[in-house]
């Protein structure tokens, strides 16, 4: 299996996390990088500020948002709970269990005076692939609790002994300084990172809003993601069990042009948690399935 396939499957559950990893690893080359992951910011687990009305969602500029469709904001009723752990197995083409993936809701707290979720994703290759391509990646997101807009996105990557540490503090004006251990990254209002986007899609009321769209930043590039409900009673069989699920088709655009060779289908269980049970991906180099194996 090629390096690109391996990097791709590590990203699927996070809807593009490792696409950013791929760009970073090749852009940085052999330059030395730190090996210590950045901990949660001081005071994050202290009492968060007072709740704000969820109706005050950040608007997405007309250049990205459909002016005829108001973006559906996330709200205080997010089906998230601190400590949730979802484990997945990734299958590529005819190869099964080439990697294991874990999505985790680490905690909810105070991030720079805003209520935020700390979201995490971990990806590891499995044997026998691991013997030729050792991959251990971690992604961290601090996302606004009301809108899931990205406040900070981190990539802690270790692939074949090559390590990269990237901590990017989001700014919509370019005027807010980043802390010493982070880089300021200017994005359009309402931008989500891949982890925040995954959780945001769980919160959409698909019976009332059959299609949503918005900007997604993968750590390297800004994309326009468009998600549309295509079914409400799909039968899904994965290692964690059998589920009835809503089927969401996700298309990705770059500079207004659809990426024809990359698309995703997300299946959300029709339960109170709206658990992501399956992600199917068509990528330039392979097709893949990321299947839920365990819920903790």
The fraction of the chain above a pLDDT of 90, given in percent, is: 48
What pLDDT was estimated at residue 91? 86
Q: What is the mean pLDDT of the chain?
A: 79
**Beta strands of the chain (E only): which ranges?**
85-92, 95-111, 114-125, 136-144, 150-159, 162-171, 183-186, 211-217, 222-238, 241-254, 257-269, 276-283, 286-295
Statement: residue 211 has pLDDT above 50: yes
- At residue 29, does pLDDT exceed 80? no
pLDDT band at 39 (very low <50, low <70, confident <90, very high): confident
Distance CA 153, CA 217 (A): 9
Band (167; pLDDT cuts 50, 70, 90):
very high
Nearest to 213 by CA among 268, 250, 160: 250
For 260, what's the count of Cα atoms within 13 Å in the CB-facing half-sphere? Answer: 0
Q: CA triplet 155, 220, 186: central angle to 5 degrees? A: 100
Highest mean pLDDT of the ranges 43-57, 128-142, 232-246: 232-246
The pTM for the full model equals 0.81
Q: Which of 10-19, 54-63, 122-131, 287-296 has the highest mean pLDDT?
A: 287-296
Model confidence at 234, pLDDT cuts 50, 70, 90, reads very high
Q: What integer pLDDT is reported at residue 62 of this predicted model? A: 40
Please compute the mean of the pLDDT values over residues 72-92 and round it to a whole number.
Answer: 76
User: In which band, very low, low, confident or very high, does the pLDDT at 61 lie, cut at 50, 70 and 90?
Assistant: very low
Q: Which residues are bridge partners to 163 per DSSP? A: 158
């Amino acid at each position: 299996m090629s390096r690109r396939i391996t990097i791709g499957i590590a990203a699927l559950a996070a809807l593009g996390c490792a696409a950013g990893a791929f760009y970073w690893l090749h852009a940085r080359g052999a330059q030395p990088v730190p090996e210590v992951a950045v901990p949660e910011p001081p005071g994050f687990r202290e009492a968060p500020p007072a709740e704000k009305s969820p109706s005050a969602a950040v608007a997405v500029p007309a250049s990205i948002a459909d002016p005829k469709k108001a973006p559906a904001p996330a709200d205080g009723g997010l089906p998230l709970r601190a400590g949730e752990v979802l484990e997945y197995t990734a299958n590529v083409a005819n190869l099964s269990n080439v990697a294991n993936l874990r999505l985790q809701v680490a905690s909810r707290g105070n991030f720079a005076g805003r209520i935020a979720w700390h979201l995490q994703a971990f990806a590891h290759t499995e044997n026998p692939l691991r013997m030729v391509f050792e991959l251990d990646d971690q992604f961290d997101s601090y996302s606004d609790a009301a809108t899931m807009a990205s406040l900070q996105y981190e990539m802690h990557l270790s692939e074949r002994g090559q390590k990269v540490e990237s901590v990017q503090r989001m700014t919509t004006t370019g005027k807010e300084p980043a802390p010493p251990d982070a880089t300021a990254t200017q994005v359009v209002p309402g931008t989500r990172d891949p982890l925040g986007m995954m959780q945001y899609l769980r919160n959409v009321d698909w019976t009332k809003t059959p299609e949503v769209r918005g900007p997604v930043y993968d750590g390297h590039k800004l994309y326009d993601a468009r998600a549309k409900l295509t079914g409400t009673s799909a039968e899904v069989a994965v290692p964690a069990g059998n589920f009835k699920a809503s089927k969401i088709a996700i298309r990705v655009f770059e500079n207004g042009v659809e990426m024809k060779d990359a698309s995703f289908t997300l299946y959300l269980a029709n339960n109170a948690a709206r658990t992501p049970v399956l992600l199917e991906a068509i990528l330039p180099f392979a097709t893949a399935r990321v299947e839920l194996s365990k819920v903790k």
